[in-house]
Structure 1
Amino acid sequence: MSNNHYNYYRPRPHDRLPGKRFPDRWNIYDNVGRDIEGTRFVPFKTPLDSSFFDGKNMPEELQFGVKSLMNMAKQANKQIGLVVDLTNTDRYYKKTEWADHGVKYLKLNCPGHEVNEREDLVQDFIKAVKEFVEDPENEGKLVGVHCTHGLNRTGYLICRYMIDVDGYTAADAISMFEYYRGHPMEREHYKVSLYEAEVRKRTAKPSGEIQEKNEKEAPRKESGDVVSN
């Protein structure tokens, strides 16, 4: 969303005591990546409700929530129009916060470590993003995507869209995501699955060819023939 990655916060031991506990390893990742060139995507880690920061000796500018993300976007002269939440919980923040900022919100509950085995979630993600970006009213608006760390589930689904819809190679999609997120994807089996998705995409016949092939192979009905059930 800007040319700089955002700082992250390493809590001191006493910072862990008050308020709610941060998600595991949440604090070691940059809050937000940059919007990925040639796409509408901007990846980020999950924002947290203000209650997570209660009592912690943490600078306000490093407290990352929905409001702070929207302020970052405004400062960068960017507009987020859709947010896709891939966390498998509702405890991190109130989803109604997005509506307060005029942002559409989509929840796709993605269990950790297995989104590459959930083609239903992949297709739901692709369908929702395509409908959004193809709507003229959303011209220029970004699609924010986050899981807990904004890295693995987020990276897999963004890369699948880039491969399946935009025609990127798996290598280019992964490289671009990692560069603009500012962190490498950590799940090697996700990367393997992305290369497999590229092969399926490359070897799949266009629907028009399949229909033509079926028409040629279908038995012709002669005049006067009766087709029984």
Structure 2
Amino acid sequence: MASIQDAINQAQSAAEDMAASQAAAHDNSGTDIIEARANPAGQVQTFSKPSMATVQATTGLLGRNTVFLKPTEFGLQVGKEKKNLVESFEAYLDLTEETGFRLKHTIRFGNPAQYLSSYDGVTCNKGGSWHDALMKAKMAAPDAEPYFAAEIKLELAEELALNKETFAAGTTIGYDTSAPSRFSDWSDFWEAAVAAGVVGQRVKVKVIGKEISHNGNNWGTVAFELAD
């Protein structure tokens, strides 16, 4: 019976053959070389040459310095301070996809929960391929399945004074729906926006914290309403 090492060696040899074949194809077609290697499990992984397009596909809509909104059962937490809670506030939102919001695929697994996402169905936002990310999640949680999520870019309509901090009007507040139930709230708002004929416009919205209770568990979500 062949050993595990023999299997790995065979996979690495296959990867080298694949790389050589693709390099030859590159010479003939002018496309970027795709490198291939085998991981310790003997699976062949392919890697394409990085580009700004692929980098953009992993970064999302919200910058690293964005102030984030976190819904809790106690209210809306704005920023990192847990005492920065508010029941609601008003903000401007551009209802243009890729400008005011961006959709993605997300999968959740582990305890504490880990989240992996993809904006293009090819690349994972934490690096590597989306396929490999799904395999990683399913190894940890076989029942885990990807679902839709949205990153939403809000702009404070007026100053927001909280317990620990004050945020000036115009401050960008980012919100990631992360959980399927939270995306449902965004979908409900989107339907209302379509009905009102304001899709593609910059609108003023009321951002409202909601508490959800189910099977003895409580958590928060965010509801959006078109402001008057």
Q: Which structure shows the higher strand fraction?
A: 2
Point out the structure with the larger helix share.
Answer: 1
TM-score, L = length of structure 2 = 0.24
Question: What is the TM-score with the length of structure 1 in the denominator?
Answer: 0.24
